[in-house]
Chains A and B, each alone.
Chain A
Amino acid sequence: MTQHALLNNVHHKDLRIVTQRAARYGDDIMASPTFPAEFRNVQAHYPIVFHRTEQGEFVPLALFGFREKQNLFLGESGWDAPYIPLMVERVPFLIGRGPNSEQVIHVDLDSPRVSRTDGERVFLEHGGNSEFLDRMSSMLATIHQGLAATNPFVAALVENELLESFALDIQFRDGTQHRMTGFHTIREEKLANLAPEALGKLHQKGYLQAIFMVIASLAHFRDLIERASKLDAAAR
């Protein structure tokens, strides 16, 4: 359930946000949407794959696990990676539309991160913006621009037939097997055989770099399997 409210320094004067990372704060997620502008940071730690929505649109995702609710980066001491994708970091804030359809910050008051006693203060004592809020608001602006730039990127991938679905057969250390399906990735052969004009166009728009970031990110499947194996071993 979500209850979105326009953030303001009167109604939310005591609002605090818990920034700890734990399942009870909703961090038990298998993946998070991401966007080309943060691929460089995301590909350093997580596989980037594409999910096809029911509407047939492709959404780039940073992958944290193999199953629903499985976040292999989440441990006793929080999130075990130096970079957390912005769509996760932004919670419980989101961009909404104000009365004059201008961009405004909304807060999900039903988020388990919302508190009056713990966490980072959103507003200063007399209603000024805290540094935390300033950081969140610039993060939201980055996300807004990043997501807007995602559609043309994905459209270019589709136009060049650069996306293909893939199945990943995973053999865990204990011998158990898992087949992961339903995601798409870059068709590397197709990319290798693209005509120079098509490549040039992709490069011009900065898409080529993002494509290679996606390809490089797949190396992190090894890390993800390793984390899953350790978890299973510990659970036994």
Chain B
Amino acid sequence: MPLPAEKIQELSGVDPRALPDSVLDSTRPLVLRGVAAHWPLVQAGLQGTRAAADYLLKYYRQATVGAFLGAPEIKGRFFYNQDLTGFNYRAVKVKLDTVLAEILRFEHDPNPGALYVGSTTIDTALPGFRAENDFDFGGRDPLASIWIGNRTRIAAHHDLPDNVACVAVGRRRFTLFPPEQLPNLYIGPLDFTPAGQAISLVDFHAPDLAKFPRFEEALRHSFVAELGPGDAIFIPSLWWHHIESLEPLNVLVNYWWRSAPAWMDTPMNTLFLAMMTVRDLPPEQRAAMKLMFDHYVFEPRPEDFAHIPPGARRMIGGFDADRARELRAFLLQRLNR
């Protein structure tokens, strides 16, 4: 269906050897055209799928990788089964050369089985690859992963880290939504997910608007971009994204990093625990807790804590690595009951 979507702001001529803070600290999505055009993998991919596969395998040391395998019937859309009790694909451990050989074997098949090696740590699977194909993130220390597959679709989901995703081989279509589109995306179960993140239950190729009427509203706030070899996209933390891979062979390299210090756990833990401990409280108690969350977490005002001597404010005064350690020990003990 046509997307009444906004185009993502595009930048060209960004220096891959020093990605600017204006990109990496952005709170809006950005497309960086051609930023990886010089990567040897991008160049190899322009010669053909075989050359791209050969280039990748140059770095491969037989480490096992995780892969999703889907029957041709799923048409590349990795998803749940009919009643959301399982999935429509199999997760297996395989050798990367086997997967690449299979992808190339069915390269000209109009409807092959779906093959996807997702979220694979580059330094483990392809040691040395980043010496030739990489960006400079300044002081940030991102996790670099590679995603290899044929024509696949990954349902809309979000991730906590900021993300730079670079199409090295093939083409990908990204559809992004700002965090506030949550209620219009019909997100599925939080604790039973295909790859760790909750996903939208809407099939973007055939949205069932009787079942998901608010999805139209989400589309009105969506951003789209189609990326080719060497193009990258910046996806801000917690922005929803749906990703389609459009060619017989598609390779993506992505970088995830958090602007928050490493001791800061994912706030999703807090959300899950709050669902267990706060959501089902009697209304008065829940209202009191909402007030406390506002007071201490969402809208803390310095003047509310001025009555405590600065040296005695402890958690209220702010966290550092050691204060986080103390709280972790306390919580571990309290939770283990």
Q: Could you list which residues of chain A lie within 8 angstroms of chain B, going by C-beta atoms?
A: 99-101, 124-126, 128-129
Q: Which residues from 73 to 99 on chain B have a C-beta closer than 8 Å to any C-beta of chain A? A: 91, 93
Does B321 have its Cβ within 8 Å of any Cβ on chain A?
A: no
A4 to B144, CA, bound (A): 38
Q: Could you list which residues of chain B lie within 8 angstroms of chain A, going by C-beta atoms?
A: 66, 91, 93, 335-337
Ranked nearest first, the 6 interchain pairs of A and B with the lowest CB-CB distance are A128-B336, A128-B337, A126-B337, A124-B337, A129-B336, A101-B93
List residues of chain B with CB within 8 A of the CB of A126: 337
Residue on A with the closest CB to B93?
Answer: A101
List residues of chain B with CB within 8 A of the CB of A99: 91
Q: Measured between C-beta atoms, what is the minimum distance from A6 to chain B in Å?
A: 17
Q: Measured between C-beta atoms, what is the minimum distance from A134 to chain B in Å?
A: 9
Q: Is the interface of A mostly helix, strand, loop or mixed?
A: loop
List residues of chain A with CB within 8 A of the CB of B93: 101
Q: Measured between C-beta atoms, what is the minimum distance from B303 to chain A in Å?
A: 39
11 of the cross-chain contacts (CB-CB < 8 Å) are A99-B91, A100-B66, A101-B93, A124-B336, A124-B337, A125-B337, A126-B337, A128-B335, A128-B336, A128-B337, A129-B336
Which of A100, A124, A128, A129 is most buried by chain B, counting CB atoms within 10 A of its CB?
A128
List residues of chain A with CB within 8 A of the CB of B91: 99
Which of B93, B335, B337 is most buried by chain A, counting CB atoms within 10 A of its CB?
B337
Residue on B with the closest CB to A125?
Answer: B337
List residues of chain B with CB within 8 A of the CB of A124: 336-337
Residue on B with the closest CB to A130?
Answer: B336
Residue on A with the closest CB to B91?
Answer: A99
A99 to B90, CA, bound (A): 12
A129 to B336, CA, bound (A): 6
List residues of chain B with CB within 8 A of the CB of A101: 93
Residue on A with the closest CB to B333?
Answer: A128
Residue on B with the closest CB to A131?
Answer: B336
A129 to B139, CA, bound (A): 39
List residues of chain A with CB within 8 A of the CB of B336: 124, 128-129
A99 to B87, CA, bound (A): 14
